[in-house]
Amino acid sequence: MKKNWFIITLVCVTVLVVINGIVSDNKEQKRKEKEFAAFLKSEPVDTVWRGSPSSQIPYYSDPKGKLIYYGYQLISNTSYYLGPKGIVAHVTNGMNCQNCHLDAGTRPFGNNFGKVLPTYPQFRARNNGVQTVYQRINDCMQRSMNGRSLDSNSTEMKAIYAYIQWLDKDIPKNVKYGGTSLKKLPYMDSAANIVSGKQVYITKCQMCHGADGQGQLNIDETGYAYPPLWGKHSYNDGAGMYRLTNIAAFVMANMPYGTDYHHPALTAEEAWDVGAYINSQPRPHLDQSADWKNILKKPFDFPFGPYADNFSEAQHKYGPYPTVIKADKALQKASAKK
């Protein structure tokens, strides 16, 4: 009889231990689930446009599939086809389109192509008239690539257009989704500091782009693994990146390479300063005498006069901008009343 009670007691104790373990495990699991839910809630929600990856290009199923894929290749490996050693033509400086249009024009806040087809043709004050997609592409060829225009009837131009058209196929006309422009930075109350920018460059940029800013060539030397940021193989002074607001916003959201805009590696001040340092370095000059015939339309950070306001070229190039913006708005308002 005593033996039976012992067995019963042992079984009960064992059951209680098991139940207690299960309860403890459930509590621990719920605690972990609660922590994970809190983590997910703390993460920013991504509501911006992201372009489809090249793996989704309908290479075989679409009659234009091969042309679309060629367009993707031209954007991602421009120098291989059109650079100084290009197998098709020699029309660019050796950079790739995706050096500025990151991930072949698909990355949020990385100069992506998400608003090209929906907003073009459009009036562009820099060009003093309405510009087509083909003309906009050639603007990049002449300015950012410091090269020559492509024939609008060439296979290469048609391929680039087909790729952008495929990326934008689901975007309604005149609609601009989030992330398709550069992320705006808060303006500084003082001019961007080139000396401080050099230090930012040394610590955050030099590893990839080199102490001399000339980037790193790829293995076969047909293009750049990391592009030059100044010098004869970089963008010229007519490119959009030569405007401080553009380069500062670009590096803030995307640099060092691999940075996600949710978690920038630079402060806004560092972005302004390093952008100023990069754009203070020598680079090719583009004759822009035909641009901006209406000087009231010039952006406040455009680095070359003449201007409608009385601020210097230095302040237009490096800031501070709040007073310039205020003055330019007043001039534009006064002009509109005439």
DSSP state of 216: E
Average pLDDT over residues 256-283: 98
Cβ neighbors of 98 (< 8 A, separation 6 or more) are: 75, 76, 78, 104, 105
- What are the pLDDT digits (tens) for 183-237? 999 999 999 999 999 999 999 999 999 999 999 999 999 999 999 999 999 999 9
Q: How far, in Å, CA of 156 to CA of 303, rounded?
A: 32
Would you put residue 317 in left (φ > 0), alpha (ψ -120 to 50) or beta? alpha
pLDDT at 16: 67
Same fold, 54-167 and 194-337: yes
pTM, rounded to two decimals: 0.86
In degrees, to the nearest 5, what angle opens at C-alpha 127 toward C-alphas 121 and 130?
25
CATH number for the domain formed by residue range(s) 194-337? 1.10.760.10
54-167, CATH topology level: Cytochrome Bc1 Complex; Chain D, domain 2 (1.10.760)
Identify the band that residue 95 occupies on the pLDDT scale cut at 50, 70 and 90.
very high
Domains in the chain: boundaries: 54-167, 194-337
pLDDT at 303: 98
Average pLDDT over residues 30-37: 65
Q: How far is CA 158 from CA 4, 70, 74, 162, 163, in A?
A: 90, 10, 11, 6, 9
- What are the pLDDT digits (tens) for 173-196? 999 999 999 999 999 999 999 999
Cβ neighbors of 330 (< 8 A, separation 6 or more) are: none
